[in-house]
Structure formats: C-alpha cells, structure tokens
Amino acid sequence: MSGPSEGLDEVTPEIVRQIEEALADGDSAEAKQLMETLSPTGQASVFEQVSEQQRDMLVALLKRELDPEMLAELDEDVLEDVLDQLDTKDIAAVARGMEADDAASLIEDLPEEEQREVLAELPANERAGIETALAYPEDSAGRLMQLSLVKVPDSWAVGQVIDYCREATDLPEDVYDLFVVDPAGRLRGSVPLGRMLRTKRPVSVLDIVDPDISSVHATADQAEVAHLFRDKNLVSCPVVDDDRRLLGVIMVDDVVDVIDEEAEEDLMKMGGVGADDMHVDTLQTTQRRASWLGVNLITAVIASLVIGQFETAIEKIVALAVLMPIVASMGGNAGTQTVTVAVRALAMGELTAANMFRFIFKEVLVGGLNGFLFAILMGGAVMAWYGDIRLGLVIGAAMICNLLAAALSGTLIPLGLQKIGVDPAVSSTVFLTTVTDVIGFLAFLGLATLFLL
C-alpha cells in the first residue's frame, strides 16, 4: 500500500462516505487504511468534509501519525480544532517534520504557555529556527522564510562550492539558487544552480555571481513579497536584515499560498465576511456576519429616510414605487463592477498616482455611456408601459445620474480609503451601496417631483 505522500490527491464523495461509515461502525482499522491511501492534500480534504465529531475521531485514531504536510494544508479553523485534540507532545512530534516557517504557523495561535511547552519538546536546533520565525510579525517575510539554504563565502571557487554541496548533510531538498556572502554574512548575490554546474571548478564564484538580485527585508509585508515574485518571475528570494546580512530564503511554493490567502481575504472582505467561516460553528458564523449586517442596516435606513422625503410624490404616482428600485439596483451593480476593478488594481499595485486620473476618467466615461444606453432602453420601456413620455424621460435622466455617480464613487471610495490607511476591500462596498441608493432615489424621486407633479 502506498504511503500518504504517494496517495490520491482527489477525494471523491464515495471515499468520504466510506470513511464516515467506518468511523460510525467503530472500524478504526478500515478508516485508518482508507486515510493511508490518500496524499496529504487528500487527507486534509477529508478532515474538512467530515463533521466535527468525526474529525475528532480521526485525530484520536491517527494522533502522532498525522502527516505534517496534511496539517499545513488544513483550513485555519479546522487546524485549530485538530490542535485542540492534541497534547503538547503530539504537536511537537508533528512540528519535527516541518520546515521552521510551517512549524511556526502551526503553533503561532496556541496560548503562550502551550507554545513554550511544545518548543521545550523539540531539539535545540529545530527550536531555535521556530523561535526565530515566531519573532517576526505574522504576515512578514521573516515568517515566510526558510532557514535551510545554500550559503557560500565569496572567497570560494566553484569546485569548493560543488564539493561542499555534495558533502553537507543539512542542505534543503530543493535548491535553485546558491547565495554568496562576504565574511560579515552580507549578501553579495546569487548563482543559479545550473550555471554553477556548467562552470569550471577553478573559476571564482564571484566571477559568475548575479550581484543585482532582488531581496526583501525580514519585516516586509507578505503582500509585498508576493508582488515581487510576480513582477520578477522569481523562484526564490533571499531575506536580509538592516545590514543586508542573509537570514533565509523564501521559496515560490510559500508565495503561492500567500497569493491564495490574500485573494481569499479580499474576496471575503468585499462580501462583508471578515474571514472564511465554512468550517466554523453556527454561533460563531452568526457573530462574525452580524457586525457587517448591522452596518448595512444603517445604510438601508439612510436610503429609506431619503425615500420618506418623497412620500407625497409616491402616493400620487404609484409607478414611482415600482420603478425606483430599478434605478438604485442599476447604480449598485455598475458601482460594484467599478469598485471590484479598482480594489483589485490597488491590491496588485497597478493603480497608482501616475495613472489614477486616467483610470477615473475612463470609468466615469464608461458609466456615462452605459447610463445613456440604459436610459434609452428603460425610458422607452416605461413610455410603452405607462404611456407617459415625461415618466420615461425622468427615469432615463435618473439612470444617467446614478450610473455616473456609481462610476465616480466606485473609483474615489477605494482610493480615498487607501489614502487614509483603511483597507479598500473592507469598506468600499458598504459606502458604495449607500451612495448609489441615495443618489438613485434622490435623482429619480427628485426629478419626478419637479416635472411630474
């Protein structure tokens, strides 16, 4: 039977059902055997699909046989639940099989006392690496970096480097670049492994080094690191301190996880959900979402107060009550399109002071053109429906006003929030909805009051 590392990545509903049935029947051997046929990714998928009770049964069944790679794949809330079922010795046993950065991520949310107990169970060299990672902020380059790398003095020849790589026992499994340092440990550059192997042994390593390689400071934000990997097409990137001393290296596989994490975070925030609550219990999920719903309630009250100012007009012309949601809805949808593009461009570093006004002008122009297009369509439909030319002209004019307002606010709101240090992904949609509802109702009901009564 193949081990977990060679097992199946894809988990079918049938496999999950078989594991659930084995657990329900108390057939531990069958459940364990089924789990062993899966890769770490597949095992993580099972842990995330079964119920919390069944998850606890799997943890009790596997205990110290839990694959470290599997734990690294788990959703944050599921991982927290799994760790709750393990004692400090079990967690330490799992951490021994991890890179320092992954082990730090594993224990970072544990209570401080429990962290110390886990670290005390580890060998001194492994403990030092994890403590180094934990000393950096959670979303920093220092937390992402691996301490295991190939670092060679700038006085060596290529032959010495090759001999060192053959004889050393503590080198990483995957090596793409070798880093060259001066006697003080300061980074002088890197040499791709392929270039090293093609060069004659007597050649000095300084003759083939790339001195202008990209590097990141240990305190740099992980989003900045992700941008650098994307822009420079990097496979690895050295991490340095204030004096440019080499501390570690970040590999592309860690950055892929960061990109996924940042994209998921922005998506959740724009939907008014603070975090992924797929695996959180009902009460916690309710609490997490209630705050944003409360904010939305306030914005809805503001919009209703605007409508209340036109009660007389609505009473006299019932059609206004039927048509006004259309204007607000169109503005909200158009604004969401704009704000989504703006937030994404800000997150990717594509929207800057240099192209800001061009972007705003383009979005306002798009809003205006769409406003005219749908003003003609909706105005014509209203004229045909109600037989009232003036009502058709009013809703057409309101449509133009609101789509222009939506385009303008869809750009200015995220730009303004970023300017004052607020994450645009968090609040843009709430403010945008308020603007488009208020402008839509004001424009439509205000014009109707002026020209129809």
CATH classification of the domain holding 249: 3.10.580.10
With tokens 């645009």, the residue in question is: 424
Query: Does pLDDT of 249 surpass 90?
Result: yes
Q: Tell me the residue range of the domain where 401 lies.
A: 282-452
Residues 39/6, Cβ–Cβ less than 8 Å: yes
User: Phi and psi (nearest 5°) for 251?
Assistant: -100, 155
pLDDT digits (tens, 9 = 90+) for 389-443: 999 999 999 999 999 999 999 999 999 988 888 878 777 888 888 899 999 999 9
Is 146 inside a domain boundary? Answer: no
Is 226 inside a domain boundary? Answer: yes
Q: In DSSP terms, which residues pair with 146 in a beta bridge?
A: 249
- State the pLDDT at residue 186: 95
CA distance 453 to 447: 10
* Of 4 and 166, the one with more pLDDT: 166
Give yes or no: residues 114 and 155 share one domain.
Answer: no
CA distance 73 to 167: 33
Binning pLDDT at 50, 70 and 90, where does residue 97 land? confident
151-153/177-181 β-pairing? parallel
Is 276 inside a domain boundary? Answer: no
Q: Which of 338, 327, 337, 333 is nearest to 408 (CA)?
A: 338
Q: At what angle do helices 88-95 and 112-120 cross, to 10 degrees?
A: 60
Give yes or no: residues 293 and 431 share one domain.
Answer: yes
- How is residue 215 written in tokens? 């590097």
Is 415 inside a domain boundary? Answer: yes
Number of Cβ atoms within 10 Å of the Cβ of 160:
15
Is 277 inside a domain boundary? Answer: no
CATH of the domain at 51: 1.25.60.10
Binning pLDDT at 50, 70 and 90, where does residue 181 land? very high
* Of 307 and 291, the one with more pLDDT: 307
pLDDT digits (tens, 9 = 90+) for 351-398: 888 889 999 999 999 999 999 999 999 999 999 999 999 999 999 999
Q: In DSSP terms, which residues pair with 186 in a beta bridge?
A: 245
Give yes or no: residues 330 and 403 share one domain.
Answer: yes
**Half-sphere exposure (CA, 13 Å, Cβ side) for 104?**
25
Give yes or no: residues 120 and 161 share one domain.
Answer: no
Domains of the chain: total: 3
Q: In DSSP terms, which residues pair with 204 in a beta bridge?
A: 157
Q: Quick one: how far is CA 332 from the chain centroid?
A: 25
Q: At what angle do helices 52-62 and 13-24 cross, to 10 degrees?
A: 80
For the ranges 89-93, 300-304, 366-370, the one whose mean pLDDT is highest: 366-370
Is 92 inside a domain boundary? Answer: yes
CATH of the domain at 414: 1.10.357.20
* Of 192 and 426, the one with more pLDDT: 192
pLDDT digits (tens, 9 = 90+) for 328-350: 999 989 998 998 889 888 877 77
Torsion, CA 424, CA 427, CA 433, CA 436, rounded to 10 = -50
Q: What is the mean pLDDT of the chain?
A: 86
Give yes or no: residues 398 and 328 share one domain.
Answer: yes
Give yes or no: residues 443 and 299 share one domain.
Answer: yes
C-alpha distances out from residue 412 to 266, 273, 417, 419, Å: 18, 22, 8, 10
Binning pLDDT at 50, 70 and 90, where does residue 4 land? very low
| Domain end (from 115, 138, 161) | 138
187-192/177-181 β-pairing? antiparallel
For the ranges 21-25, 184-188, 276-280, 293-297, which has the lowest average pLDDT?
Answer: 276-280
Residue 399 burial (CB < 10 Å; 0-12/13-18/19+)? Answer: buried
pLDDT digits (tens, 9 = 90+) for 40-86: 888 988 998 888 889 889 988 887 678 888 888 888 788 888 888 88
SS (H, E, C) the chain: CCCHHHCECCCCHHHHHHHHHHHHCCCHHHHHHHHHCECHHHHHHHHHHCCHHHHHHHHHHHHHHCCHHHHHHCCHHHHHHHHHCCCHHHHHHHHCCCCHHHHHHHHCCCCHHHHHHHHHCCCHHHHHHHHHHHCCCCCEHHHHCECCCCEEECCCEHHHHHHHHHHCCCCCCCCCEEEEECCCCEEEEEEEHHHHHHCCCCCEHHHCCECCCCCEECCCEHHHHHHHHHHHCCCEEEEECCCCEEEEEEEHHHHHHHHHHHHHHHHHHHCCCCCCCCCCCHHHHHHHHHHHHHHHHHHHHHHHHHHHCCHHHHHHCCHHHHHHHHHHHHHHHHHHHHHHHHHHHHHCCCCCCCCHHHHHHHHHHHHHHHHHHHHHHHHHHHHHHHCCHHHHHHHHHHHHHHHHHHHHHHHHHHHHHHHCCCCHHHHHHHHHHHHHHHHHHHHHHHHHHHHHC
Give yes or no: residues 220 and 319 share one domain.
Answer: no
Taking the model in full, what pTM does it have? Answer: 0.64
| pLDDT mean over 239-253 | 93
| pLDDT mean over 227-237 | 88
Give yes or no: residues 160 and 286 share one domain.
Answer: no
Is 144 inside a domain boundary? Answer: no
| Domain end (from 138, 163, 187) | 138
* Of 33 and 291, the one with more pLDDT: 33
Is 124 inside a domain boundary? Answer: yes
* Of 347 and 205, the one with more pLDDT: 205
Give yes or no: residues 185 and 210 share one domain.
Answer: yes
- State the pLDDT at residue 444: 92
Give yes or no: residues 304 and 422 share one domain.
Answer: yes
Span between the terminal Cα atoms of the chain, in Å: 82
- State the pLDDT at residue 360: 94
Give yes or no: residues 295 and 340 share one domain.
Answer: yes
- State the pLDDT at residue 276: 54
For the ranges 113-127, 251-265, 280-294, which has the lowest average pLDDT?
Answer: 280-294
Give yes or no: residues 430 and 334 share one domain.
Answer: yes
CA distance 129 to 434: 49
| Domain end (from 202, 236, 267) | 267
